[in-house]
């Protein structure tokens, strides 16, 4: 289980087989539901990711700072309390602004209150820039399988220099 950075990585190779893939995990906004977050941390770690878990009540800026510093390939975000739409608005744009516009954004949990038609909910969050949106109660394994698939599709070959922060001349 590659939880420590033992494997020296060829620079920005980014391929999961050679070096652990960093992801940033957390529950967004003023949401304090902590149980699912712990389960997701364990599940993603056991699936081979290096999980940088920010816990609950995570601001957008914290997700972005963590992704920059860890060179993360994906943000796996939960929202349980029903405020996802407010809490997630503008995240993709802020990622673009920070130089990590290509990062995969995953979202799951109880995203809305009252809204029962999931395809509508999904469309709304996809339009906000999320790559994958999962319905309430999705098993972590489903998210993990999807993430590997998306990473494979990206060839695990992010070009060097895709994580430049502001200020790069």
Partner 1 sequence: MPELLLADVGSTFTKVCVVHTDEPRLLARAAVPTTTEPDVNQGLDAACRLAGTALDTALPLLASSSAAGGLRIAAVGLVPSLTAKAAEMAALGAGAKVVGTFPYALNTDDENRLRTLEPDLVLLTGGTDGGDTSHIVGNAEVITRTLPAVPVVVAGNRNAHDDLRRVLDGHQGPVRFADNVMPELNRLNLGPSRDCIRQLFLERIVIAKGMGRLKARADLLVPTPQAVLEAVRLLGQTAGGLGDFLAVDIGGATTDVYSHGAGLPSNAGVVYKGLPEPIDKRTVEADLGMRHTLSGVMALIDLEGLCAEHGLQPEEVMAWTTRVAADPGAIPHSTQETAADTALAAAACRLAVQRHCGRLEEVWGPEGRVFLQEGKDLGDAGWVVGTGGPAAFGPAPEVILAAARRRAGSASLLPRAPRFLADRDYLLWAVGLLAQAGLDEAGARLALHHLREVPGGDAPSCRRVPEGTHRGE
Nearer to ligand B12, 22 or 78 (CB): 78
Residues in a beta bridge with 162:
none
> Tokens 């994906």 map to which residue?
74
Q: Which of 113, 36, 34, 47 is nearest to 74 (CA)?
A: 47
The span of 12-20, 33-41, 66-74, 161-169 binding ligand B12 (CB under 6 A) equals: 33-41
Candidates 2, 13, 16, 33: give the one binding ligand B12 (CB under 6 A). Answer: 33
**Residue 164 touches which of partner 1, ligand B12, none (CB < 5 to 8 A by kind)?**
partner 1
- Residues with Cβ within 8 Å of 81's Cβ and at least 6 positions away in sequence, in order, are 29, 30, 31, 32, 33, 110
> Is 102 one of the annotated active-site residues of the chain?
no
> Is 33 one of the annotated active-site residues of the chain?
yes
For CA atoms 60, 66, 69, 72, give the dihedral sign. Answer: negative
**Residue 109 touches which of ligand B12, partner 1, none (CB < 5 to 8 A by kind)?**
ligand B12
Please provide the DSSP assignment of 133-161 as one string: E--TT--HHHHHHHHHHHHHHTTT-PPTT
Nearer to ligand B12, 80 or 100 (CB): 80
**Residue 161 touches which of partner 1, ligand B12, none (CB < 5 to 8 A by kind)?**
partner 1
The catalytic position among 12, 33, 71, 162 is: 33
Per-position x/- string for 57-96, each x denoting binding to ligand B12 as judged by CB under 6 A, each - no binding: -------------------x-x-xxx--------------
Buried b / exposed e across 63-101, counting CB within 10 Å, b at 16+?
A: bbebbbeebbbbbbbbbbbbbbbebbeebbebbeebbbe
**Residue 70 touches which of ligand B12, partner 1, none (CB < 5 to 8 A by kind)?**
partner 1
Provide, rounded to whole angstroms, the least separation between the CB of residue 152 and ligand B12: 17
The residues annotated as belonging to the active site are 31, 33
């Amino acid at each position: 289980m590659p939880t420590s950075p033992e494997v020296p990585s060829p620079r920005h190779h980014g391929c999961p087989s050679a070096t652990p893939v960093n992801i940033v995990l957390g529950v967004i906004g003023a949401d304090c539901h902590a149980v699912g977050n712990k389960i997701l941390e364990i599940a993603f770690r056991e699936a081979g990711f290096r999980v940088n878990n920010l816990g609950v009540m995570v601001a957008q800026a914290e997700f972005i700072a963590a992704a920059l510093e860890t060179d993360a390939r994906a943000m796996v975000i939960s929202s349980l309390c029903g405020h996802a739409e407010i809490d997630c608005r503008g995240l993709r744009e802020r990622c673009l602004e920070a130089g990590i516009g290509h990062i995969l954004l995953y979202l799951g949990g109880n995203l809305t209150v009252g809204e029962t038609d999931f395809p509508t909910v999904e469309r709304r969050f996809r339009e906000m820039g999320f790559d994958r949106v999962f319905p309430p109660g999705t098993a972590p394994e489903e998210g993990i399988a999807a993430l590997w698939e998306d990473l494979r599709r990206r060839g695990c070959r992010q070009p060097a220099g895709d994580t430049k922060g502001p200020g790069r001349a």
